[in-house]
Amino acid sequence: METVAELLKRLRPNLSVGQYGKIVTDTSEFMEIGYGDVIRVGGLHYLVLRDETERSFGIEDPKYWIKRCVLLETGDRRILKLVFHESFPLRLGKLTVKCYRSPEKESRVLELVRGDWRFMQGITARDDHANPVRVLEVIRGKRIDEFVAGLEVDHRTYFFEIFPGLFEKFMGACEAIAFLHEHGEKHGDIRRDHLRVESGTERFRWIDFDYTYDFYENPFGLDLFGLGSILTFLVGMDIYHLGELERLGFSDVISSLTSEDFSLLYPNRVVNLKKIFPYIPDGLNKILLHFSQGAELGYETVAELLRDMESAKAQIVKGGNLS
């Protein structure tokens, strides 16, 4: 069998590698796969550069089952997600939800969304142990919250100049989630860091589809709540916690807030943003209130949410009421 050194010499002679590892064809023991190893799946070779990490509460959290790689045949970057089954409690404000990581589900979704730029793209290749290895293309860009945080404008300017465009794009992102639901699939982990704004095109693209849950009566409830949370963030250009309002210069708002103005799941998070920014149109604010403790009725489908967004769109005009 060809060694890693021989393989590199043949396929990527100019690629400098600090150490030559082993060629891996069974990825079951993903902890033992590291820098300098080459994963061979689907007839192609992926040189492992490092484990993926996720920053959480300021700490780098390594994801040992996700490998950042170079596809030796082309030189392109790829992310390989190896099989890791786990279930864990996911805390959502007041509630705890049992969450499962399912490689099979992610493979199915990747297949469903092939060629659809609204989602990350990738294929599934089986290794020698029949593990479904997900080979993902890298999306160059920023998380939606980092993208918004990088806009150095005040809220009013943001809301009337930039938000209308973002709102329209976010409607497209919601339509993408509705597409999954129509096909019986959920995203499973709709958060601000799973919606990317692609560099260059500024298209909104969803990533990471491997979470799932055992909800049967309302299987898409969590996805809907995730969409509501991102919309609230986009409207406000940030998240507003009760304890931070004074520091942010909204002291006068505090006395007007009631429990009904806060998020259904996060009791300190203001969702009735019109009380902070009175120029937010009623139609748009009413959508946010569907995710508040005061909501009489929640959305059951993304289609319902989209209908209200479509109605609200007319009131969200670029350049309107800027003075």
Partner 1 sequence: MNFKKILIAVDASENSMRAVRYVGEIVGSSPGFEVTLLHVAVSPDRDLFPDEQVWKAKKQEMQANMELFFRKSRTALIEFGVPSQNIHERYIQSGGGSLSHQILGVQESDGFGTIVIGRRGVSKEEEFLFGSVSNKIVHYAKGCTVWVVE
Closest separation between CB of residue 93 and partner 1, Å?
8
Q: Decide whether 71 or 222 has the Cβ nearer to partner 1.
A: 222
Q: How far apart are CA 305 and CA 251, in angstroms?
A: 32
Closest separation between CB of residue 295 and partner 1, Å?
8
Q: Decide whether 162 or 295 has the Cβ nearer to partner 1.
A: 295
Per the CB < 8 A criterion, the answer to whether 82 and 133 are in contact is yes
Q: Decide whether 214 or 246 has the Cβ nearer to partner 1.
A: 214
**Sequence-ordered strand ranges (E) for 127-194:** 132-137, 141-143
Closest separation between CB of residue 72 and partner 1, Å?
31
Per the CB < 8 A criterion, the answer to whether 269 and 238 are in contact is no
Q: Decide whether 17 or 97 has the Cβ nearer to partner 1.
A: 97
The contacts of residue 66 (CB under 8 Å, 6+ apart) are 51, 52, 79, 80, 81, 82
Closest separation between CB of residue 132 and partner 1, Å?
12
Query: How do 44-56 and 59-71 pair as beta strands?
Result: antiparallel
Q: Decide whether 63 or 105 has the Cβ nearer to partner 1.
A: 105
Paired strand residues for 101: 86, 211
Closest separation between CB of residue 225 and partner 1, Å?
6
Burial-class residue 154 by CB neighbours within 10 Å (0-12, 13-18, 19+).
Answer: exposed
Q: Decide whether 42 or 221 has the Cβ nearer to partner 1.
A: 221
Closest separation between CB of residue 174 and partner 1, Å?
17
Reported for 59-65, long-range contacts at CB under 8 A and 24+ positions apart, including other chains, are 64/30, 64/31, 65/30
Reported for 164-168, long-range contacts at CB under 8 A and 24+ positions apart, including other chains, are 164/316, 164/317, 164/318, 165/318, 166/234, 167/234, 167/309, 167/313, 167/316, 168/313
What is residue 162's DSSP assignment? I
Helix, strand, coil percentages for the chain (3-state, nearest 5): 35, 25, 40
Q: Decide whether 38 or 133 has the Cβ nearer to partner 1.
A: 133
Q: Decide whether 141 or 226 has the Cβ nearer to partner 1.
A: 226
Interface residues toward partner 1, by CB under 8 A: 85, 87, 92-95, 97, 100, 102, 104-105, 184, 212, 214-218, 221-222, 225, 264-265, 293, 295, 298
Closest separation between CB of residue 212 and partner 1, Å?
5
Closest separation between CB of residue 181 and partner 1, Å?
11
Q: How far apart are CA 208 and CA 189, in angstroms?
A: 7
